């Protein structure tokens, strides 16, 4: 392919696209450069179909340390290994935007790989990678109903900023990524420092309008390149078989889906029994057929589509939900604190069959997590939330182990939603870790994690600004995409078969976190606004329940949590406190059992599990770093004698000089007439030289010290 390039300006920065120079074996390849951040995107599709009942799509986002001019910090491993959490989240962002634009009946394996080739430290690669993923697919022979694009939106001093720099993102009141098509929004990822629903909706609307320039730009490129799309063998439905499945199962499913008073297990048992009866019926009906297995596999897919059709129809036509709730009604709520003994704080939150147990751990500042990625220089993270989703939470058997992409994504969403309520380090100098164990799941466990974590923080006595809660909103659209109903607190078939999953978290004052995925083309700004308002109503109801359980943070930390004291020392004394090879500070730690963390500005954090250890550590630090001042009184030891006076050690490693004239109220001819080596002597500080730090002492009575 000949090399072709395209240029455009977007959000005040140059956007450069290149085809034909890099790669060439993938179905679609392009290089996207935004500022000096460069991403190579390859979209590939297998030639043959895979025998699965889903669309096999993979999206990978590859960070390369060379892109930022770095070598990986590990002493032993220098090559890139597993992706960082940040890379996983960027990959999910792209996946959630492009996935709804494929035909679900595609069975060819597809993979989109975004590789970051250069990073200028200013422009985040995720937005150009999202743009490039769409463009690579649009200009390939892979069937893709695009284009899609996205933009990041921030706000500083009331002014909206598109694709803000990293520095601007730190100063911004929110960080919103919005993506979609020419007419709809299909993906939102947001964190905010407690802003109103109205402000959030305005930012989303502005972002939608802004990225339309990228949609137009892609269409121009596609028109110029004129790619030809492949004709794929799609998984289609046997209309006769679909009619048989519908006739047999419709009334049975109506009964199973809308049986009153059933819990989750009984609910799915009823659906499962209907499916068993259907399969037995079909085995008998098609017992002479050579395609028995194929018919049964297809019937299983049709059965799920029938559930989808029934759930949509009943909600759209009569506001009828499977569990009988109103469209804006929450499931039963309850919460507890202090449920697990010998912890620093615990919270249990239940919403229907969804249950999250959140556990708080407090530790010394030295337990902060070190973070190193391609984008981020080695830095520290003092607040962490981790999400754990074991298979038993949904009644299944499965492998346990490190968190997968879903766990990382849900944990990050809850962490982002909680971060604005966490006290700053100056007021609460602890490292804070929350772990949300999902013990039972039936819809929106990530938002249950926010609720359980708020309870655990307050139970542990962490002085949070206010509790936060979260809720998942759903949506049902008709086939024409015109009529719709917004659902509060989706679960079960509404979650699985619904058209939108919108999670909104926040406090009573406003939104702190938000995430949206869709299975359709997308939604309008008007729907976003309505869903946010409906979510606010639900969030306030949940906060009422949380605050009835515990109204505010406990006045005291858990007796099992360590205590942290902060002292300030002269930065020039840091070396003295550490000592040669860490000898002094390690000696204090060994003697007291305390943890000691020192910052460059002279702030010293002392963490101890016992009052005795704390008291002793503080005393030793004061002793080592103490700076004598005029008038201070000491019992010292003579360590050197000179003709003009004597040097007296007033504290370990610190001495001062007593001039011969300061040894008595009478005239002294020789120092040795008064003092000898090793003698204990009472002295006062007469003066301290600010420049040299030298200390002048006197043995005369304190009243004579000027």
Q: Are 310 and 302 in contact (CB under 8 A)?
A: no
**120 annotated as a binding-site residue:** no
DSSP assignment of 90-147 equals HHHHHHHHHGGGS-TT--EEEEEEEEEEE--SSS-THHHHHHHHHHHHHTSSS-----
Q: How many CB atoms lie within 10 A of CB 123?
A: 22
* DSSP state, residue 481: S
Q: How many CB atoms lie within 10 A of CB 466?
A: 16
- In sequence order, what are the beta bridge partners of 486? 475
Question: What torsion do the CA atoms of 314, 315, 321, 325 make, to the nearest 10 degrees?
Answer: -130
Distance CA 284, CA 296 (A): 11
Q: Are 452 and 349 in contact (CB under 8 A)?
A: yes
- With b for 16 or more beta-carbon neighbours within 10 A and e for fewer, the 210-225 pattern comes to bbebbbebbeebeeeb
Distance CA 667, CA 140 (A): 101
Strands 469-477 and 500-506: antiparallel
Nearest Cα neighbor of 259 from 249, 247, 269 is 269
Q: What is the CA radius of gyration of the chain?
A: 33
| Contacts for 278 with CB less than 8 Å, ≥ 6 apart | 245, 248, 249, 299, 303
Distance CA 297, CA 299 (A): 5
Nearest Cα neighbor of 425 from 469, 361, 381, 386 is 381
Instruction: Indicate the angle between helix axes 197-210 and 525-549, nearest 10 degrees.
Output: 150
**495 annotated as a binding-site residue:** yes
Question: What torsion do the CA atoms of 631, 636, 638, 643 make, to the nearest 10 degrees?
Answer: 10
Per-residue CA distances from 550 to 336, 352, 423, 431, 459 (Å): 8, 20, 18, 23, 8
As annotated, the binding site includes 495, 501
As annotated, the binding site for Mg(2+) includes 495, 501
């Amino acid at each position: 392919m000949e090399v072709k390039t395209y240029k455009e300006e977007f959000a005040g920065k140059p956007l450069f696209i290149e085809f034909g120079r890099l790669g060439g074996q993938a179905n679609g390849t392009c290089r996207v450069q935004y500022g000096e951040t460069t991403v190579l995107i390859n979209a590939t599709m297998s030639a043959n179909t895979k025998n699965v009942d889903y669309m096999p799509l993979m999206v990978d986002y590859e960070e390369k340390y060379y892109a930022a001019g770095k070598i990986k910090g590990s002493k032993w491993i220098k090559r890139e290994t597993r992706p960082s959490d940040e890379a996983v989240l960027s990959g999910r962002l792209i996946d959630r935007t492009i996935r709804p634009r494929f035909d679900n009946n595609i069975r060819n394996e597809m993979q989109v790989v975004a590789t970051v080739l250069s990073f200028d430290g200013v422009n985040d690669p995720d937005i150009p990678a999202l743009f490039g993923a769409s463009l690579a697919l649009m200009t390939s022979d892979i069937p893709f109903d695009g284009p899609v694009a996205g933009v990041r939106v921030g706000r500083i001093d009331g002014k909206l900023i598109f694709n803000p720099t990293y520095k601007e993102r730190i100063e911004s009141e929110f960080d919103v990524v919005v993506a979609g098509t020419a007419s709809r929004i299909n993906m939102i990822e947001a964190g905010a420092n407690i802003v109103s629903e109205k402000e959030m909706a305005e930012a989303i609307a502005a972002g939608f309008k802004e990225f339309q320039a990228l949609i137009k730009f892609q269409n121009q490129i596609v028109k110029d390149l004129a790619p030809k799309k492949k004709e794929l063998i799609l998984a289609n439905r046997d209309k006769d078989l679909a009619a048989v499945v519908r006739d047999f199962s419709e009334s049975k499913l109506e009964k199973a889906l809308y049986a009153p008073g059933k819990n989750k297990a009984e609910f799915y048992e009823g659906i499962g029994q209907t499916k068993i009866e259907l399969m037995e019926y079909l085995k008998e009906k098609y017992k002479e057929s050579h395609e028995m297995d194929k018919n049964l596999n297809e019937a299983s897919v049709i059965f799920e589509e029938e559930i989808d059709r029934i759930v949509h129809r009943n909600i759209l036509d009569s506001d009828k939900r499977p569990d009988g709730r109103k469209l804006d009604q929450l499931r039963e709520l309850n919460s507890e604190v202090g449920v697990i003994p010998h912890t620093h704080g615990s919270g249990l939150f239940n919403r229907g069959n969804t249950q999250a147990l959140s556990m708080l751990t407090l530790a010394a500042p030295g337990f902060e997590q070190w973070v190193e990625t391609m984008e981020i220089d080695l830095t520290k993270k003092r607040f962490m939330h981790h999400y754990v989703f074991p298979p038993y939470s949904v009644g299944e058997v499965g492998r346990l182990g490190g968190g997968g992409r879903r766990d990382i994504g849900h944990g990050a969403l809850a962490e982002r939603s909680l971060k604005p309520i966490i006290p700053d380090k100056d007021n609460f100098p602890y490292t804070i870790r929350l772990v949300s164990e999902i013990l039972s799941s039936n819809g929106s466990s990530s938002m249950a994690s926010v609720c359980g974590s708020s309870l655990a923080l307050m139970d542990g006595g962490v002085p949070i600004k206010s509790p936060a809660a979260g809720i998942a909103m759903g949506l049902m659209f008709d086939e024409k995409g015109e009529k719709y109903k917004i659902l509060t607190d989706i679960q079960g078939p509404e979650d699985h078969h619904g058209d939108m999953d919108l999670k909104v978290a926040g406090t009573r004052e406003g939104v702190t976190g938000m995430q949206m995925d869709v299975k359709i083309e997308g939604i309008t700004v008007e729907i976003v606004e309505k869903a946010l308002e409906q979510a606010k109503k639900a969030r306030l109801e949940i906060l009422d329940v949380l605050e009835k359980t515990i109204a505010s943070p406990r006045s005291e930390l858990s007796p099992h949590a360590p205590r942290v004291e902060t002292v300030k020392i002269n930065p020039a004394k840091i070396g003295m406190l550490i000592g040669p090879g860490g000898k002094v500070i390690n000696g204090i730690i060994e003697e007291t059992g305390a943890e000691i963390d020192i910052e460059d500005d002279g702030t010293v954090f002392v963490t101890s599990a016992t009052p005795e250890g704390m008291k002793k550590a503080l005393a030793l630090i004061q002793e080592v770093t103490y700076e004598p001042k005029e008038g201070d009184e000491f019992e010292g030891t003579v360590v050197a004698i000179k003709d003009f006076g004597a040097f007296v050690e007033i504290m370990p490693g610190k001495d001062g000089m007593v001039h011969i004239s300061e040894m008595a109220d009478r005239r002294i001819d020789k120092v040795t007439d008064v003092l000898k080596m090793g003698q204990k002597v009472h002295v006062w500080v007469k003066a301290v030289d600010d420049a040299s730090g030298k200390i002048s002492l006197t043995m005369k009575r304190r009243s004579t010290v000027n």
